[in-house]
C-alpha cells in the first residue's frame, strides 16, 4: 500500500516536470526508517533547534540549582520557625514528618530554653515554606543525609551562618528570631540565590548563538568589544562577517540583549569585562577565566542542556544556527535577508534548509496516508 501510494505521487510529480518523491534523499531516509525501524541518522543539519526548543534550553539553564533551592528553603524555614544556623545545619530528614496540610520538624539542637522541641509549619499559614520543604524532600538524592546537605552530602555550618545572618537576630523578649517582612525576605532570597556565572553565561551563549546565527568558530573567538547595545538591540561586529549582525530584543527570559547585559555585569564584577576579553570564557566553579570555550566546550553545553531539558541527545552548537534559519523560513523572511543575517556566501544553503522545511510543512507521511 505504501509503495503503491508513493508510485502514484511519483507519477504526478513526473507529469508536472518535477523530481519524483522517491528520489528525494529525505524521503528515502524516512522510508528506510519506516521499513526497518532504524534511526534515520540525520546529522546536525537535520536537527535544528527551533525557537521553541531554544526557549526550552534557556528554561533548563535558569532552573534553580540544588544549592539555590536549599539556601532559599533554609531562609524560609529560619524565618518561619526562628531556628538558628546550628539547628538547621544538623537537621536530618528523619527529623521531618510530612502531612498533607503541614510539616512537623523535631529539632536536635535547642538554642535556648524557650525554643520548642518541635515546629509545625502549616500549609495554610506558610505555603511557600511548606512547598519549599516538600520540593527539597522530593529532589533529595539521599534522605539519610542532612536536609541542607550539598550535592556531595556535606553540611556546611559556616555557609549556613553566612546565609542566615542577614535575618533578624534572636529576640529574648519574643523567645525566638523575629520574622522579617515579606519584601525584605524576598530581597534576601534573591541576593542569596542569584544565578550562577555558569547559568548567566550559558543563557547568553544560547540566546545570542541562536539570534545571531553564530557559527561555532565565531562564538569561540567573540570578544566583549565586538558587542554594542543600541535602540535596535545588540550589534555584533564579527571581523569575519561582511556586515554587522543586529540581534533584536526578545520577550522576558528569552531576550538576548537582557541576557548579555546580565552576563556582562557578572564578568565586570569579577574584573573580566574589558573589550579584549573573550565573550564566552571557560569557568572554574564560579571563577571566570580568560580562556575561550573551544568548539568541544560549546557543543557540550548545548548537548548537555538539551538532554537535561528532555530533548534527544546529539545536538551541537551549530543546531542553534540551523534553527534560526529554519525559523526565518517559517516566518516568510526572504532568502536574501536570511543569507545576509547568517553571513552565507551562497544561497544554496538557504535552499537546502527551505527544501527540508517544506518537506516537514507538507508532511510526506500524511500524503502517503500514514
What's the number of domains the chain is made of?
A: 2
The last residue of one of the domains, among 136, 162, 192, is: 192
pLDDT digits (tens, 9 = 90+) for 105-131: 998 876 654 566 889 999 999 999 999
| 338 membership: H or E segment, kind and range | helix 335-341
43 in a domain, yes or no?
no
Q: Looking at the structure, do residues 177 and 212 belong to the same domain, yes or no?
A: no
Q: Looking at the structure, do residues 103 and 218 belong to the same domain, yes or no?
A: no
Quick one: 148 exposed, middle or buried, by C-beta within 10 A (0-12, 13-18, 19+)? buried
Q: Per-residue pLDDT averaged across 51-78, rounded?
A: 93
The rounded distance, in Å, linking the Cα atoms of 303 and 315 is: 5
What does the pLDDT read at residue 367? Answer: 53
Per DSSP, 108 falls in state S
- From residue 305, alpha-carbon distances to 56, 141, 282, 314 in Å are 9, 20, 16, 11
* Structural domain containing residue 144: 66-192
User: What pTM did the predictor assign?
Assistant: 0.78
Q: Looking at the structure, do residues 292 and 273 belong to the same domain, yes or no?
A: yes
48 in a domain, yes or no?
no
Coil vs helix vs strand at 137: helix
The last residue of one of the domains, among 192, 214, 245, is: 192
The rounded distance, in Å, linking the Cα atoms of 343 and 244 is: 10
Residue with cell 537537621: 91
Q: Are 280 and 219 in contact (CB under 8 A)?
A: yes
The last residue of one of the domains, among 161, 192, 223, is: 192
Long-range contacts of 348-351 (CB under 8 A, 24+ apart): 349/325, 350/325
Q: Looking at the structure, do residues 127 and 246 belong to the same domain, yes or no?
A: no
pLDDT digits (tens, 9 = 90+) for 4-31: 676 777 777 777 777 777 777 777 666 6
Amino acid at each position: 500500500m505504501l509503495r503503491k501510494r508513493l508510485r502514484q505521487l511519483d507519477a504526478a510529480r513526473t507529469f508536472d516536470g518535477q523530481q519524483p518523491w522517491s528520489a528525494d534523499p529525505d524521503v528515502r531516509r524516512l522510508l528506510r526508517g519506516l521499513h526497518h525501524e532504524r534511526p534515520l541518522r540525520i546529522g546536525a543539519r537535520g536537527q535544528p533547534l527551533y525557537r521553541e526548543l531554544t526557549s526550552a534550553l534557556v528554561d533548563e539553564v535558569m532552573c534553580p540549582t540544588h544549592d539555590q533551592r536549599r539556601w532559599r528553603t533554609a531562609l524560609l524555614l529560619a524565618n518561619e520557625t526562628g531556628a538558628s544556623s546550628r539547628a538547621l545545619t544538623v537537621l536530618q530528614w528523619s527529623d521531618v514528618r510530612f502531612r498533607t496540610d503541614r510539616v512537623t520538624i523535631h529539632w536536635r539542637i535547642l538554642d535556648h530554653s524557650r525554643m520548642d522541641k518541635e515546629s509545625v509549619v502549616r500549609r495554610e499559614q506558610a505555603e511557600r515554606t511548606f512547598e519549599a520543604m516538600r520540593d527539597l524532600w522530593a529532589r533529595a538524592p539521599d534522605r539519610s543525609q542532612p536536609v541542607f546537605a550539598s550535592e556531595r552530602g556535606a553540611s556546611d555550618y559556616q555557609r549556613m551562618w553566612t546565609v542566615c545572618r542577614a535575618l533578624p537576630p534572636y529576640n529574648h523578649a519574643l523567645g525566638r528570631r523575629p520574622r522579617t517582612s515579606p519584601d525584605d525576605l524576598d530581597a534576601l532570597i534573591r541576593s542569596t540565590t542569584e544565578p550562577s556565572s555558569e547559568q548567566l553565561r550559558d543563557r547568553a551563549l544560547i540566546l545570542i548563538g541562536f539570534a545571531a546565527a553564530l557559527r561555532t568558530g565565531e562564538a569561540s573567538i567573540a570578544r566583549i568589544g565586538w558587542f554594542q547595545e543600541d535602540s535596535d538591540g545588540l550589534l555584533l561586529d564579527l571581523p569575519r562577517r561582511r556586515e554587522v549582525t543586529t540581534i533584536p530584543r526578545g520577550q522576558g527570559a528569552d531576550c538576548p540583549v537582557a541576557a548579555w547585559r546580565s552576563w556582562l555585569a557578572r564578568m565586570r564584577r569579577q574584573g573580566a569585562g574589558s573589550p579584549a576579553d573573550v565573550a564566552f570564557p571557560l569557568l572554574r566553579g564560579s571563577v571566570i577565566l580568560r580562556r575561550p570555550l573551544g568548539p568541544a566546550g560549546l557543543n557540550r553545553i548545548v548537548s548537555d542542556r538539551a538532554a537535561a531539558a528532555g530533548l534527544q541527545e546529539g545536538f551541537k552548537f551549530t543546531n542553534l544556527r540551523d534553527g534560526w534559519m529554519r525559523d526565518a523560513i517559517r516566518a516568510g523572511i526572504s532568502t536574501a535577508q536570511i543569507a545576509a543575517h547568517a553571513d552565507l556566501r551562497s544561497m544554496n544553503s538557504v535552499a537546502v534548509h527551505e527544501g527540508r522545511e517544506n518537506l516537514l510543512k507538507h508532511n510526506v507521511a500524511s500524503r502517503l496516508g500514514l
